[in-house]
Structure 1
Amino acid sequence: MGAEGGLRERKKLQTRAALADAALRLALEKGPDNVTVEEIAEAADVSVRTFFNYFPHKEHAILGRNPEHLERALDRMRTAPAEESPLTTMWFVVQDVLRDLESDGQLSRRGELIMSSPTLLYQLMMSSFDDERQLTAALAIRMGEPAGSVRTALIVSAAGAACRVAMDLHKNAPDRPVVELVREGFQLLAHGIDPAFDQRGIS
């Protein structure tokens, strides 16, 4: 049963990857608004019904959304060493997702496509907000902070913002890899974006 279960999981991963690859390829060729679910399913050699077993709509397929990313992130949040800083944990979470998205060699092209499409950008923002709410709740538990903690929400959302900013900047600076731009964003967050900020203005 173990071997059979492992084979099923591998097949699921392969099918999800085939659908995401087909969706991205077609979106790059025709534009995301001109691609249909039927075309994506046909290109991946699966049925439309199978498509909806993996993605709720074509935009998630083009984005390469994978529920396992959030599951792994939440698990990483729960099992992080006690001495690991919250921002460091978020870096490992983001690094894991970027590594997975980079595995098909299309991270940069996907990022450029997303930033050029209002529909894809909206879907990315909406799905990111939902992920961030769950990660914030998990981080609050880990840090022993109450629900509604500004600090935990800010750590998680700032990490997400670093990724979105990196994708946008990469569009105008394609020679700088997205991962490099994300890393720079995290370094700025870690050291303080504006250490000279005059707090008297908000006291």
Structure 2
Amino acid sequence: MPTEDGPRMGLRERKKQRTRDALSQAAVLLIVERGWGGVTEEDIAAAADVSVRTFRNYFSGKAEAVAARHVDRVRRIAGELRARPAAEPLWEAAGNAVRGQFAPEHDIDRSAHERHRADGIRLMLNEPALQGELAKAHAAAEAELTAAIGERTGTDPVGDLYPKLAAAALGATLSAVITHCLQAEPPLPLGQVLDEALDRLTSGLPVP
């Protein structure tokens, strides 16, 4: 029987995650709108309605706040992948998990229909000050996917190649889709390109 501490801890963790999400989203939206140099930690905290001290409890700076959005999204994908029906083929389950995090109403997809917003996202992602945090974020995200795929396929995330290969392929697919959509003239709807990319991935990398 669960103790009172369990539900309370769960509530605290959910509240912390909501604060983290709000800060990360505020960082992305402000930087896209104003440019990297036009946004401070104080701006991000104010937009999320928290103190600067709270911001610094979650992130070392605005680069980490931006990169966290990718890690958190992939963690949700990994969690959804674990929750999909066991009988569902891996790549069908992965596709469904990914689509749930890249729905048409997602801010990146909305901005893809607006030239200035697409330009802002591209400039943000190419910001040199962000590159180190993005590299760490990609590594953390790939580790999450590797673990989830290992569980799903009964393979060892450490000792077997397959979950690493599958996670790397899925992560690279997501990155390629976002880049392709933002660089197209005019920017392409992310959902449509994502469906095409996932279909191609599914047909070319079967479960061993």
What's the counterpart of residue 32 of structure 2?
28
Match of 1:172 in 2: 183
Matched, 1:190 2:202: yes
Which of 96, 100, 103 is the aligned partner of 1:96?
100
Structure 2 counterpart of 1:155? 166
Letter in 2 for 1:88: E
Q: How many percent identity over aligned positions? A: 31
Comparing 73-82 with 134-143, greater Cα deviation is found at 73-82
Q: Distance in 2 between matches of 1:157 and 1:115?
A: 20
The Cα offsets for residues 79-106 of structure 1, whole Å up to 9 and x where unpaired, read as 3322212222222232232239805865
1:55 is the counterpart of 2:59: yes
Which string of whole-angstrom CA distances, capped at 9 and with x for unpartnered residues, describes residues 31-78 of structure 1? 224532123213333211211344343123334627654553343333
Please list every run of 5 or more consecutive structure 2 residues that lacks an aligned counterpart in the other structure.
none
RMSD of aligned C-alpha atoms? 3.5
Which deviations, in whole Å up to 9, do the C-alpha atoms of 1:2-26 show, x marking residues without a partner?
A: 89x869946962x445433432233
**In 2: Cα distance, 1:67 partner to 1:11 partner:** 16
Structure 1 position 37 matched with structure 2 position 41: yes
Of residues 93, 100, 120 in structure 1, which corresponds to 2:130? Answer: 120
Q: What amino acid is aligned across from residue 188 of structure 1 in structure 2?
A: R
SS of equivalent residue, structure 1 residue 99: coil
Within 2, Cα distance between the matches of 1:85 and 1:156? 15
Tell me the TM-score normalised to structure 1 length. Answer: 0.72
Q: Number of aligned pairs?
A: 191
**Which residue is 1:72 aligned to?**
76
Amino acid across the alignment from 1:82: A
Deviations 1:173-196 (A, max 9, x none): 143112222222111112239xxx
Residue 143 of structure 1 corresponds to which residue in structure 2?
153
> 1:170 is aligned with what amino acid?
C
What is the TM-score of this pair, normalised by structure 2?
0.71
Report what 1:199 is aligned to: none
Q: Cα offset for 1:172? A: 2.1
Contact 1:59 1:120 in 2 (8 A): yes
Q: Is the 8 A contact 1:86 1:155 kept in 2?
A: no
1:130, distance to aligned residue in structure 2 (A): 1.2
Output the amino acid matched with 2:39: V
